Amino acid sequence: MAHTEESNSTTAWGCLFNARRFGARELLAFLIVGLSFAFVTFHLYTGMFGHPEAHFYRSLHLTGVLLLCFTLFPLNRKSWSDKPNIWTVIDIACIILSVALEVYYLWDIEAFELRQVTSPNTADICMGVILWLLVLEGTRRALGVPMVLIAVFFTFQALYSEKMFWIFYGPSTTLKSLVLDMFMQEGGIFGMPLGTIASFVVLFLIFGAFMEETGTGRTFTDLALGAFGSKVGGPAKAAVVGSAFFGMLSGSSCANVTTTGTFTIPLMKRVGYESTYAGGVEACASTGGMFTPPIMGATAFVVAAYLGLSYATVALAAAIPALCYYFALFAAVDFHARKAKIPPLSKEEMPVVKDVLKNGAHLLLPIGLLVYFLVSGYTATTACFWSIVGLFIVSFLKKSSRPGAENIISVCEAAGKATVVTAMACAAAGIIVSSSTLSGVGLKLGTQIVSISGGHLWLAMLLAAVLAVILGMGLTTTAVYIIMVVTVIPPIMQMGVPALAAHMYALFWGVLSNIIPPVAIASFTAAGIAKAGPMKTAARGFVIGLPGLLVFATFVYNPGLIMIGTVSDIVINSVGCLIAVVCFAAVVEGYAFTKINILFRAMLAVCSLISLSPRWDLTFAGLAGGVIILTLNYLAAKKEDLNFGQGQKQEA
């Protein structure tokens, strides 16, 4: 396994490898390589032998994240590899301050811990303010301005509540109290979300980076093409399946689009799909990977931590909704391909499954190992650590995947960069959680939403989904979920929704904000690859994903979809949902096996909706109606084919 010349030129290791002299750029590359390797090694060590006391461990983790952030995301430069300028002084200052904060904490840790339960002194307050500034600056560099603005607003709202209005009015919080909660205790920046990233998520990001480096993502795509390329809508179906599997590894919709979309989108366009449609399919398929077990996005670990459940329980709860979502996408691209008469791939264009497995089957073994550990009841940390070890071992079985030193360093760099984005989101979310908890504004906002809904659960859930989509316009999925936890989830649970259902609802809609206009980040990324208009691609992606959205709009009423209830509940809810999304995909496309007239589309829409009813009699009625209409449509298509064939014979 070797890097290309291009990759060598864009990584820190490549910079050092190709260096002909040792200057400022090479010094920074050396720093990035050293930091990344130390960061990954530290987390692998703690993953095997256990980590120390929570605050101490999280502070070390955050220091490493800040150092990587201020080197990988320089100020006023597009990349760390660009020539240093006057703004580099600020980067250096941020690095020095990050180290100084950790030294301050460790210098007299016993006295610091004593002040955690008494009162911070002046130095503590100064250091707390500096950390607040560093976290906000790191968040701005890694994630952009929106999250920073929200964190700043909630901070000042807590400090000056008496001067605010509406739900933001209340007794003001002192700076000393804010620093105590946000900096010195485990309720703010060093809270549970950051702890989850440090304890579990980093290892999964290392695992995902290693799998990507070994070429597992391309193995998934080739397997999907080999299996579905010869079918109706083959390239689009391969994109759906391949992106689903690779999305489990990347944990990021945009990263998934960038990796798999560069191959699948041009292929879809070549066989006849419109640019906007190809981009929309890839965006929807890539987004679903963030809630597809066994490896979901970072937010799933935060959900498990908030609920006090094992990660395996959360992954199991997401299994049926994820299956239904991809089933809906599969049906949508199938119906569209039939309608547009898009041909399948030729045999020459399709990979041979046997050859793909011969070259890459060994790379799939660590995923099986991970599933085994999770199902057997091991912690997520243990499961992922030994899966990384297993992946390292099996990668030596084939020359094509055998890692060299440059590959190991590349994995460390990729994992470090991915961790920076996720950890900075959690640290900034910690500021929001601490500030809103002290001021009470989070509870007030949730109460206001319930009040607006008039006690109607469906309206409260709709408002919660809208809030998640609005927040998703500028925040990561993890940040959206955490804000939802302190605002709308508690009152929704008081309305009778099970805790797991309420938290999964927030998770799913936080993820889906990536494909819902006007700010559909995954669709915009796909549009760039497809060379299509961003808003047109986003709108097309939303329409394609619309049948799948039904799943997440209804599982609160059908908890069997997330494994809550009896076996019969789970089976009936699952079958009802699968039929419903297929029917709705036909409604949206106006086509299944042949064209569907307006009357049957309306009837099919009704059948789709009542199939999702919590009442079994309505569910069975919807299922029966949907199956009958689709069967009639299939028979009509067969009749059209027969008439067409007879017409050709007569002409001949």
User: What is the arithmetic mean of pLDDT over 309-314?
Assistant: 85
> For the segment 73-126, what is each residue's pLDDT rounded down to a tens digit?
888 777 666 677 788 888 889 999 999 999 988 887 778 777 777 778 888 889
Secondary structure, 3-state, 512-579 = HCCCCCCCCHHHHHHHHHHCCCHHHHHHHHHHHHHHHHHHHHHCCCCHHHHCCCCHHHHHHHHHHHHH
pLDDT in tens, 24-34: 667 777 788 88
Cα 403 off chain centre by? 27
Structural contact between residues 622 and 610, judged by C-beta atoms closer than 8 angstroms: yes
Task: Pick the more confident residue, 482 or 586.
Answer: 586
What is the reported pLDDT for 637? 85
Flag whether pLDDT at 442 surpasses 70: yes
pLDDT in the model for residue 471? 80
- Give me the residues paired with residue 591 across strands: 595
DSSP string, 606-634: HHHHHTT-SSHHHHHHHHHHHHHHHHHHH
Specify the higher pLDDT residue, 607 or 294. 607
| Residue 595 bridge partners (DSSP) | 591
Contact 287, 293 (CB under 8 A): no
Q: Could you give the CA distance from residue 343 to residue 333 in angstroms, rounded to a whole number?
A: 13
- Report the distance separating Cα 79 and Cα 68, nearest Å: 13
Burial 516-551 (b: 16+ CB within 10 A, else e): bbebbbbbbbbbebbebebebbbbbbbebbbbbbbb
Tokens describing residue 351: 């990979």
> In the chain, what are the helix, strand and coil shares in percent, each to the nearest 5?
80, 0, 20
- Single-letter amino acid, residue 151: A
Look at the chain and count its residues. 652
Rounded CA gap, 283 and 520, in Å?
A: 9
Q: Give all strands (DSSP E) within 371-461, no chain letters.
A: none
At 397, the pLDDT band (50, 70, 90 cuts) reads confident
pLDDT at site 3: 44
String of b and e for 244-257 (b: at least 16 CB within 10 Å)? bbbbbbbbbbbbbb
What per-residue confidence (pLDDT) applies to 80? 63
Confidence at residue 159, expressed as pLDDT on a 0 to 100 scale:
87
pLDDT at 14 over 70: no
Q: Please indicate whether residue 475 or residue 638 has the higher confidence score (pLDDT).
A: 638
In this prediction, residue 650 carries a pLDDT of 46
pLDDT of 491 over the 50 cut: yes
Predicted local confidence at residue 20, as pLDDT: 63
Q: What is the pLDDT of residues 273-303, one digit of tens each?
A: 889 999 999 889 888 888 888 777 777 888 8
Where residue 5 falls among pLDDT bands split at 50, 70, 90?
very low
Segment among 450-459, 502-511, 554-563 with least mean pLDDT: 450-459
Extract the tokens encoding 167: 């739900």
Q: Encode pLDDT of 552-600 as tens digits.
A: 878 888 888 888 888 888 999 899 999 999 999 999 988 888 888 899 9
- Tokens matching residue 218: 């391309």
How much of the chain, in percent, has pLDDT values that exceed 70? 92
Q: Are 573 and 558 contacting, i.e. CB atoms less than 8 angstroms apart?
A: yes
Sequence-distant (6+) residues with CB within 8 A of 402 are 1, 395, 396
Residue 133 scores a pLDDT above 90:
yes
Three-class SS state of 258: helix
* pLDDT confidence of residue 38: 92
Residue type, 402: R
Residues 6+ apart with CB under 8 A from 244: 285, 288, 289, 292, 322, 326
Percent of the chain exceeding pLDDT 90 equals 12
- At 645 the pLDDT is 47
Cβ burial of 451 (10 Å; 0-12, 13-18, 19+) is: exposed
Question: Looking at residue 557, what is its pLDDT?
Answer: 86
CB atoms within 10 A of CB 55: 18
Rounded average pLDDT over 526-531:
87
- Taking a C-beta distance cutoff of 8 angstroms, is the pair 67, 99 a contact? yes
Per-residue confidence band for 648, with pLDDT thresholds at 50, 70 and 90: very low
Residue-level pLDDT at 138: 92
pLDDT in tens, 318-376: 889 989 999 999 899 889 988 888 888 777 777 788 888 888 888 888 888 888 888 78
What value does the mean pLDDT take over residues 460-482?
81
In this prediction, residue 644 has a pLDDT band, given cuts at 50, 70 and 90, of very low
pLDDT at 441 over 50: yes
Q: When comparing pLDDT for 252 and 430, which is higher? A: 430
**Which residue has better confidence, 492 or 229?**
492
Reduce the DSSP state of residue 20 to 3 states and report it: coil
The pLDDT of 194-210, averaged and rounded, is 86
Phi–psi pair at 50, nearest 5 degrees: 95, 155
